Structure 1
């Protein structure tokens, strides 16, 4: 049994104009999310009530994307008409495969025509947020799918946590308001201020860099690429940090994230690129900012280190945020891009239910072709409290070097894929 129900906001009509940053980042991004598996059943009526509390508190989450001729994209929210999409899937006696963490299934076909890209929802009746509950007698899975025009990685995990807390406490939302600040101008104000600091040649190249970025990947020889899937334990990460720390006895301030970046640097690179959550950088964007405030930041490695990435390069770049929101670095082949979601990610409990696994959501009928946009980099996210998923993709000879380093720290289950 599968059905789609709208959980509408009860009383508020409103509309919001998206920032240029939200539109640029969001339109081409997919509806994205994760599925979190739990031991035991999660109560559907109780979960719907939690959704109701949140959409009543933040009506924009139940809105629709609207674009009129010669007008900017807006989010329009109509009370008792627009809302969050809630999908309930009773799996009955169907077995849920949780033994192989790399092949866990989501058990949902896209029969509800959930848009593939966030921009596909413009001028349609597609919800911006979908909450999907899968369950059988022994397990439950909660999937949160979001439109990237109004939510980024930071707000995504906040939303999942708010939903879990509202599930556990009927008065949570009323005690916690406001859940988010809705002021999309703040990110544009920040970006515009940074653009004023750019040199004239950076300003000249910046508008065309994204198109050059696309063209470059159209001509990538994908037969030279491969990628690794593997699971890192907390012990593996601690060992990585310990090994790096032993090289720098006089250095004490750096994170596991810095050590992991340095560990993945196996060949000379001139640029490294990562995603920074601007909410925590004291740049005028509050912690509870709703919208996109995850920006691409790039930095340079040092020639005296033979262009190998060092943790103090990363720390300096995080503190100074140079080269923010630019695709220019990836026009050069000597780069490495790393997206570490585990810095944002939480594993919220719904009531007394135990988290078994958190994993990226993929429709069974929408295959993922990692080589369709070959890009040198890594993706890290949390599977459980003590396990992390690493995907590393690069040229074959580089991937083999990373594989050797992973085996040296005791990682045994490594899946290697080539084009």
Structure 2
């Protein structure tokens, strides 16, 4: 592994209370596959330009006794980790999108959890370039204590643009706004508006989340995975659309959330990127600015989720939590990366596949989380990967809906 350090800037940043809660999550990343070759020298120049512009990306996590968590950036000492892997004649098969692998083993001791990098000389950002004679894969991994999905995909865009245009960073500085007080100020103001019951829920939700996951009967859970085309998503939207006012805002994601809700629930939870919600957090804000939004389904609808409920909650942000509250189990969560992936990084060519990153020798056991919810993200320009986890009988109902929709390949895994 090679370190690409910031040239001459020493600085320190104190993370927000909100950011400091993200240490349990792993490093965040996707692998981007290309048919063309990516020049490693040009890529390292692009990384150098970005770490010089945003030194925090090359910093290290430091926490002293009774002190808040900081990122310390030392010039010429610490930096971004660059890993180059020549796969030689190893065959890479990405024709089956559901089985596509990353072809990277964790021989570089990249931490399992983001908090594992605290008080250690471990990069917060890694760029991995691997290739054979036919394909090239670029992975950007970033520590979740300084980044969320909004940060991640914006940084990936900047890296691709800097690779393609040597003057890009100079023309668009500053790339990020770094003011970690903004998110704490917003969360504190939102917290004051909650009832005392909701304040208690927000304060204890993480503990309940962990305990609930530990003591769940994993044998009663299933995992579903399938590919949805743009045409299938449009069909879901048309089938669910039933708005009194045709001009009302109505997204495909609203319709998908309702489509996946097949049993009565009391609460629904989704991740919202606060950067675009007019709450004082800039679009290029560095750090974590995605929060869980919780709302209640309506008894008059027999507690079945309606897309109009989702849209109202997106607009009003009624209850904001750091973690998913799962007190009684009658909830459903949904997470969409699709808007975050509006820009498909080309690195001098055309992206053919963007897949969630997993080290091939450390597979993730998603069923072990035992959390009712779904995730959708873009694989290619017109194809999306849907993951759904719930009790077996609920997953079975979702599977039937997908089959009726015309989805052919559906993978079901059980504990």
TM-score, normalised relative to structure 1: 0.96
Aligned CA distance change for structure 1 residues 328 and 242 (closer, same or farther; 3 Å): closer
2:268 is the counterpart of 1:272: yes
Which of 18, 25, 33 is the equivalent residue of 1:21?
Answer: 18
Are residues 1:256 and 2:245 paired? no
SS of equivalent residue, structure 1 residue 261: helix
Q: Does 1:190 align with 2:173?
A: no
Name the residue aligned to 1:139.
135
Change beyond 3 A, Cα 1:233–1:10: same
1:115 equivalent to 2:111? Answer yes
Report if the CA contact (8 A) 1:347-1:385 is conserved. no
Query: What's the counterpart of residue 362 of structure 2?
Result: 366
* Residue 400 of structure 1 pairs with residue 372 of structure 2: no
Aligned partner of 2:316 among 320, 339, 342: 320
Could you tell me whether the CA contact under 8 Å between 2:375 and 2:388 is conserved in 1? yes
* Cα deviations by residue, 1:305-364 (Å, 9 ceiling, x for unpaired): 111111110111011101101546411211100011112114534344221111111111
Deviations 1:10-68 (A, max 9, x none): 010000000000001x2111112000100121110011111011000000000000011
Match in the other structure for 2:374: 378
The Cα offsets for residues 227-268 of structure 1, whole Å up to 9 and x where unpaired, read as 1100000010011111112x3464443011111111111111
Matches of 2:295 and 2:255 in 1, distance apart? 16
Please give the secondary structure, in 2, of the residue aligned with 1:10: coil
Correspondent of 1:148 among 144, 148, 151 = 144
Aligned counterparts of 2:79 and 2:342: Cα–Cα separation in 1: 25
Q: 2:269·2:324 contact (CA, 8 Å) conserved in 1? A: no
Could you tell me which of 368, 386, 401 is aligned with 1:390?
386
Match of 2:3 in 1: 6
What is the distance in 1 between the residues matched to 2:99 and 2:148? 26
Change in 2 beyond 3 A, CA 1:327/1:32: closer
Task: Note if contact 2:202-2:325 (Cα within 8 Å) is conserved in structure 1.
Answer: no
1:237 aligned onto 2:237 = no
CA distance, structure 1, for counterparts of residue 201 and residue 140 of structure 2: 37
Name structure 1 gaps, 5 residues minimum.
none
1:228 is matched with which residue: 224, 229, 240? 224
- List alignment gaps of at least 5 residues for structure 2: none
Whole-angstrom CA distance in 2 between matches of 1:292 and 1:158: 13
CA distance in 2 between partners of 1:328 and 1:66 (Å)? 28
TM-score normalised by L of structure 2: 0.97
Distance in structure 1 (CA, Å) of the matches to 2:373 and 2:201 = 23
Cα-Cα RMSD: 1.3
- Is 2:51 the counterpart of 1:84? no
Q: Secondary structure at the match of 1:142?
A: strand
Secondary structure of 1:390's match? strand
State the secondary structure of the residue aligned to 1:203: helix
The whole-number CA distance in structure 2 between the counterparts of 1:127 and 1:328 is 29
